Amino acid sequence: MAPRGASPAKRRLARARAAAELHPSEHVLDPAQLALFEAPPRDWSRLRTTSPPALTTSAADLVTAFSAYMNGRGWNTASFSGSVRTLRIVTGHLGADTPIRESDIRALVTTGVNLHGARVLNYLRLRGLLEAQPPNDLSVARARQYASTISSPAFAAAVHTFIDVLLGQGSKPSRARSSKTVENYVAAVLDTIEAWGTQGLSDPREITKKHIEDALKQLRGDQARRLHSALRTLFRALKRERLVFRDPARSISLTSNRPVPTGLPSDRVDGLLDRIEDPRERLTVALVAIYAVLPGQLVQLKTTDFDRSKGRLRRPGRVDHVVYLDEFTRRLATAWELHRFHRWPDSSNPHLFVNRNTAVDDSGPPISTAAVQLLFQRVGLPAGRLRADRIVDEARHSADPVRLMELFGLSTYSATRYVLSAHPDKRPGPIAP
């Protein structure tokens, strides 16, 4: 290495001399070598970064092309040096003549702070140099882990069967639930099953209606409803798979009072958009506050769902429901589209809302619902309360549940509840003889 006070010319000579002393790695993959058996996972935590190996010709060309690719997409290469460093390390040790395992890049990224793998994975996928690992759903993996921690073998096997049924993999074909729903169901019943184990119950066939009622009596509100729904689904699945003779939860009902939706004070809503400067956040809040779009629907909006020329927006999950935007919201949408184009001109993400991570991800993922919720936390108004305030305000003016169904895509039951909340005098009385 050149001394710290050396001239730029001496530093360049020192770097060139140090690069000439490097040797290629002994572990460069040979495309002509056939694999006799699957190789075990590589341990990148033992990697020595002080003396990296020299790049082969193909690896050097790949790193140079990757930097040119990032510059061509308008990215600041200096800001994403961690991505170049990741590609430099993995190709230095494995070469660039054969596809690189996705698991190697993900394992390497976990060993250092200044290592980033998302853009490397996307680029290798585009070049056909990525050996993708099988998809691993973290929610299902956590559900399996929960089931494995159950002390009773019979209950543990029953919960694993329950997971299979929820995923549509039971003995009979069925509709598969989402992986997050599977995790939530298993997490809801876990403590109750362990409590039954401490009581001496070791098999699902020993559970009676009284056991379930005693478990529900200890809970209130949302916790009781969550456990009730999970237990009913659990024993319905076990009876279907013939692991229990009868369903003890079938005849158990849980009465609960649903809160009546109410509006917000006007001083909390006035000037809401004036406190927000980001174009994406302004459009997000406007869609919730004016058109009562759910946060889960916002993240699933596609650019094809928005017709700017006609001012129409198709509500996700409701192909039969169209939102007609006013002039103000159309200006907000135009401002966001222009901002998105200037910041990420080559983004191929099909979703309407993107951030700095999803915009450059060629797999096109949506932003997380948590990011939307975090925005409303900063604003100081939960998205659910703001949405309910808009529907209640409309119900005060129209008092027509059909209009609420047309405007916001509500069900008959929800629309009626909002109308009764805004007009308590319209609550029907007892049927006259």
- Predicted confidence (pLDDT) per residue in 147-192, tens digit: 999 988 889 989 999 998 998 888 777 788 888 889 999 999 999 9
In angstroms, rounded to a whole number, what is the distance separating the alpha carbons of residues 67 and 54? 18
Q: Are residues 154 and 183 in the same domain?
A: yes
- 352-360 — which CB contacts under 8 Å span 24+ positions? 352/301, 352/302, 352/303, 352/305, 352/306, 353/280, 353/283, 353/284, 353/298, 353/299, 353/301, 355/280, 357/118, 360/73, 360/75, 360/118, 360/119, 360/122
Top pLDDT among 198 and 260 is at 198
Q: Of 129-143, 261-275, 303-317, 343-357, give the lowest mean pLDDT range.
A: 261-275
In angstroms, rounded to a whole number, what is the distance separating the alpha carbons of residues 85 and 372? 32
In a domain, 257, yes or no: no
Q: Are residues 354 and 398 in the same domain?
A: yes
Q: Is 67 left (phi over 0), alpha (psi -120 to 50) or beta?
A: alpha
pLDDT range class, residue 433, cuts 50, 70, 90? very low
- 38-46 — which CB contacts under 8 Å span 24+ positions? 41/103, 41/107, 42/104, 42/107, 43/107, 44/104, 44/107, 44/108, 44/110, 44/111, 45/111
Q: Of 90-99, 180-189, 423-432, give the lowest mean pLDDT range.
A: 423-432
Q: Are residues 40 and 63 in the same domain?
A: yes
Q: Are residues 277 and 221 in the same domain?
A: no
- Of 97, 27, 15, 31, nearest in space to 60 by CA: 97
Q: Are residues 395 and 292 in the same domain?
A: yes
In a domain, 379, yes or no: yes
**Both structure tokens of 209:** 């209606």
108 Cβ neighbours under 8 A, 6+ residues apart: 44, 47, 86, 89, 90, 115, 117
What pLDDT sits at residue 337?
92
Q: Are residues 182 and 270 in the same domain?
A: no
Q: How many CB atoms lie within 10 A of CB 20?
A: 8
Q: Are residues 420 and 273 in the same domain?
A: yes
Angle of the 369-379 helix axis to the 279-291 helix axis, nearest 10 = 90
What pLDDT sits at residue 338?
92
In a domain, 273, yes or no: yes
Q: Are residues 27 and 54 in the same domain?
A: yes
Question: To the nearest whole percent, how much of the chain has pLDDT over 70?
Answer: 81
What pLDDT sits at residue 292?
86
Give how many domains the chain has, as a whole number. 3
What pLDDT sits at residue 195?
92
Residue 297 above 90 pLDDT?
no
Structural domain for 24, as ranges: 19-131
In a domain, 1, yes or no: no
In angstroms, rounded to a whole number, what is the distance separating the alpha carbons of residues 328 and 197? 60
What pLDDT sits at residue 206?
92
In a domain, 374, yes or no: yes
In a domain, 250, yes or no: no
What pLDDT sits at residue 189?
93
In angstroms, rounded to a whole number, what is the distance separating the alpha carbons of residues 237 and 231? 10
Q: Are residues 151 and 216 in the same domain?
A: yes
**Among 131, 156, 174, residue at a domain's last position:** 131
**How many whole angstroms from its chain centre is CA 18?**
45
Q: Are residues 171 and 276 in the same domain?
A: no
* Beta-carbon-side half-sphere exposure of residue 403 (alpha carbons within 13 Å): 12
In a domain, 254, yes or no: no
Q: Are residues 122 and 145 in the same domain?
A: no
What pLDDT sits at residue 75?
64
Q: Are residues 82 and 147 in the same domain?
A: no
In a domain, 185, yes or no: yes
